[in-house]
């Protein structure tokens, strides 16, 4: 799942996928804003069927946080 999240972020933010790691901070390292995060989560919801509640979104700091959440909540 980590690779899938990296690919989504790479395409969406036009960042080299090789520069994204599990510890990469979505906002600080990749420069994502709240709209970017919402777009990423919409893509994840569409592709993987994982609904992410608003209160959980605020807990995502790193790419690994997102990947772990998807893995633990996939239907």
Annotated active-site positions, please? Answer: 33
**Under 8 Å CB-to-CB from 50, ≥6 apart: which residues?**
44, 69, 70, 73, 74, 75
Radius of gyration over every alpha carbon of the chain, rounded to an integer in angstroms: 11
């Amino acid at each position: 799942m980590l690779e899938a999240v990296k690919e989504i972020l790479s395409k969406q933010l036009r960042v080299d996928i090789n520069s994204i790691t599990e510890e990469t901070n979505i906002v600080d390292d990749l420069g994502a804003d709240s709209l970017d995060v919402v777009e990423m989560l919409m893509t994840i919801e569409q592709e993987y069927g994982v609904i992410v509640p608003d209160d959980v979104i605020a807990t995502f700091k790193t790419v690994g946080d997102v990947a772990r959440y998807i893995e633990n909540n996939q239907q």
